[in-house]
Structure 1
């Protein structure tokens, strides 16, 4: 027991007492993100062997419909949950029930209008009517599910959040694979039915949970709060959809499906970094809001610097071992995509940086400018893709995405500092640490191009990883003033 206690005390010394809560929740969110993404990775070769490319393409469009319609139907109310919880925790059940009742009525009206033009919409998108209808139903189920998960996040119930997220993915993939296997025609419907079934179950679970929170009530002031918060973010959410998917559309139009496949694969590898960033942000936001409410600016700054170190260390390790990850996940026909992975990982560092400062706008409810910035970044991304992909090929898309996220970071920083106002996280130390990431990324490229021996190269990667671990995490143990 004494050895375990010693290890725990040493871990606390490395991490810092003020970061224990953050690490605890980040661990849960990251575990959930990694498990759900891993389940997704494992399912890809299964579905591609059971379905034809045409069927797999229909499934991709189905997913896109859900993404877009969930934004429009949910009105970004799930985001207001996180913000409001830190203002009026006592009457939170009334806030949730008011929002769900409003969204229920709103979506009845929206579905009525969709029903009038459902055939035309399905034909415009290029899918069968039944595919479109299933996607809309899944989107409706998704509304209370997202609100439920946002509630668990903001109330720091990261354990429950993780269990529900992983269970959802496991059930959906298992049921879908069985359903797809049993069908002999239009097998893509099996995947859709599996998602519909699981979302239907979680929809019921979420509603029951909210009823148990308190007697359902409706108050217009709570709906007004969420509308003011959520509506301005709809262009922001749609623009994020552009930033995430439009590059693939442009590549497919300009250079063909083979390059689209390579680019998509590289992005799937880079998504590992996205898992790290998004999981840590889920843990960071409640802690950030709590300390911002109490004006603990010094603590926020200290924790943000340490938070960024975890991100930077993860990025360096992923860049260093990106070749090995690619070799594990794919055969030689995909190795050409290897050069894109470090650029994509750097892009997600700027996603982290812009969320770090964007959280100030979310807290102060200054969401209108966020939407304008994201929309502009999306439009710039579209323009750059159509300009540079014909000239430089699919590789250009990775750089255009990086540029778009750099612009988003700059906007959110200047917006937080000069428009939203107040004391913000100091950037100089974070940028100094980021320069270390750039140095090691450049060093990796030199080593990769000039050293052919696998053993020597792998040994150097291990050495750089150890140096990075010491610099970002262990150094403050030897020098507590850091």
Structure 2
């Protein structure tokens, strides 16, 4: 029997078109760090590059306290609320983010000396971090609305334009004006600022901003978002702590080689994120008027994606030696090949997580994700403490694999309790 995508419930044209736009957008965004890498390493000293990296760490740790999962809350509200109530929900979300940024600013101000000593980030950039996160929140809201509205082209135009401005400003300020690492950071700030203004104007034109702020929606957003903070912070812990262990127990060069393997495996993550951006509106739309037939189709679609993830791992494992042999990556990083299989499998399980976690988001039981990811972040730290001193960078790679597998299986089990699906009976006709 010939394979037909319609047999499993996808509208072939619209779904694949949306997926292609999201995938292309994610590939472009992920390509920018690769393109900038030789430029940054040529124009910046090791200390400057380290400072730039630490600013990024601060951003990733701070933004969960300001974003508070508002983008995910809006994604579910778009399909739950009447359209005339959505502007109040979105505007109430911005109020929450604004006060979150004020709180983080004062925390940074109070502990500025300790944070500066820990990260090496200058004081003025330290205090700008909350503002950067607030501007990024505006951009996230615009993008999630385009995603929910099934407007991948609008999504792509906004995100790609932001990325290109970021890239162009960074090149101009680093190369022409010789501003060093601050040139890169000013490029990020400038692009975020410009597009947060454009984003607010776009939301206003679409009728999604209002002065009617609802206490009910503020409470709903806080109930939804506060439990997500451990969940979203757990991500940087799982992604970054292994490199700190490698640096301390092996050496800095080993960290660079290990990171190269991570960059290669990010191809799987990019594809998974692009699929999820297309999948989530489709899933929520189906769940809003669910039937048993639709449930079985959703499960079939999920299993197909899981199979694709595993095939991507196999493909990357086969192609990686060719990438090095053709000189796309400098041969001094050739040791990265040995980490590809466990890291890419870990990335694949991270992609599979999307297929099961969205049911928990739909039911607004985000506290479940908070506990699971927080527990697995602790597991990641414990495994790194044990495995890295014993097995070096390979211990970190296996820690990443084990942790992501644990998250996927745990969330799958719990999501089925929150929203039962025929995961093991979808093939039955009755």
Quick check: TM above 0.5?
yes
**What's the CA shift for 1:34?**
0.7
Aligned to 1:407: 406
Q: TM-score, normalised by structure 2?
A: 0.92
Residue range with higher mean Cα deviation, 349-358 or 200-209: 349-358
Residue from 41, 44, 48 that aligns with 1:51: 44
The one-character-per-residue Cα deviations of 1:90-128 (angstroms, maximum 9, x if unpaired) are 121221112112322343344244333334432333321
**What's the CA shift for 1:149?**
1.2
Aligned to 1:389: 388
Residue from 33, 58, 61 that aligns with 1:65: 58
Aligned to 2:136: 142
Residue range with higher mean Cα deviation, 128-137 or 220-229: 128-137
Indicate the SS of the match to 1:127.
coil
Aligned to 1:253: 248
Aligned to 2:345: 346
Indicate the SS of the match to 1:198.
helix
The one-character-per-residue Cα deviations of 1:277-301 (angstroms, maximum 9, x if unpaired) are 1111111111111112211212212
Aligned to 1:336: 335
Indicate the SS of the match to 1:241.
helix
Contact 1:304 1:425 in 2 (8 A): no
Residue range with higher mean Cα deviation, 324-333 or 378-387: 324-333
Q: Provide closer, same or farther for how the CA distance between residues 15 and 37 of structure 1 changes in structure 2, counting only shifts above 3 A.
A: farther
Residue range with higher mean Cα deviation, 138-147 or 230-239: 138-147
Aligned to 1:80: 73
Residue from 112, 116, 120 that aligns with 1:118: 112
Larger Rg, first or second structure (1 or 2): 1
Residue range with higher mean Cα deviation, 12-21 or 147-156: 12-21
| RMSD, aligned α-carbons | 2.2
Number of residue pairs matched by the alignment = 419
Alignment of 1:259-274 (within 5 A): 259-274=254-269
Q: Provide closer, same or farther for how the CA distance between residues 427 and 241 of structure 1 changes in structure 2, counting only shifts above 3 A.
A: farther
Contact 1:96 1:210 in 2 (8 A): no
Contact 1:235 1:371 in 2 (8 A): yes
Contact 2:108 2:126 in 1 (8 A): no
Contact 1:301 1:426 in 2 (8 A): no
Give distance in 2, aligned partners of 1:135 and 1:167.
22
Alignment of 1:146-295 (within 5 A): 146-184=140-178, 187-214=180-207, 215-295=210-290
Q: Provide closer, same or farther for how the CA distance between residues 288 and 425 of structure 1 changes in structure 2, counting only shifts above 3 A.
A: farther
Q: Provide closer, same or farther for how the CA distance between residues 312 and 409 of structure 1 changes in structure 2, counting only shifts above 3 A.
A: same
Give distance in 2, aligned partners of 1:353 and 1:371.
18
Aligned to 1:372: 371
**What's the CA shift for 1:22?**
2.7
Indicate the SS of the match to 2:259.
helix
- Which blocks of at least 5 consecutive residues in structure 1 are unaligned? 1-9, 430-480
Q: Provide closer, same or farther for how the CA distance between residues 350 and 206 of structure 1 changes in structure 2, counting only shifts above 3 A.
A: same
Q: Provide closer, same or farther for how the CA distance between residues 110 and 387 of structure 1 changes in structure 2, counting only shifts above 3 A.
A: closer
Indicate the SS of the match to 2:141.
helix
Q: Provide closer, same or farther for how the CA distance between residues 15 and 398 of structure 1 changes in structure 2, counting only shifts above 3 A.
A: farther
Residue from 13, 18, 23 that aligns with 1:25: 18
Q: TM-score, normalised by structure 1?
A: 0.82
**What's the CA shift for 1:388?**
1.1
Residue range with higher mean Cα deviation, 259-268 or 384-393: 384-393
Q: Provide closer, same or farther for how the CA distance between residues 428 and 252 of structure 1 changes in structure 2, counting only shifts above 3 A.
A: farther
Q: Provide closer, same or farther for how the CA distance between residues 427 and 36 of structure 1 changes in structure 2, counting only shifts above 3 A.
A: farther
Residue from 311, 317, 320 that aligns with 1:322: 320
**What's the CA shift for 1:266?**
0.7
Give distance in 1, aligned partners of 2:185 and 2:264.
25
- Which blocks of at least 5 consecutive residues in structure 2 are unaligned? none
Give distance in 2, aligned partners of 1:205 and 1:154.
19
Indicate the SS of the match to 1:351.
helix
The one-character-per-residue Cα deviations of 1:453-479 (angstroms, maximum 9, x if unpaired) are xxxxxxxxxxxxxxxxxxxxxxxxxxx
Give distance in 1, aligned partners of 2:50 and 2:349.
30
Residue range with higher mean Cα deviation, 293-302 or 308-317: 308-317
Q: Provide closer, same or farther for how the CA distance between residues 26 and 426 of structure 1 changes in structure 2, counting only shifts above 3 A.
A: farther
Give distance in 1, aligned partners of 2:425 and 2:232.
26
Give distance in 2, aligned partners of 1:276 and 1:267.
15
Give distance in 2, aligned partners of 1:164 and 1:427.
41
Aligned to 1:312: 310
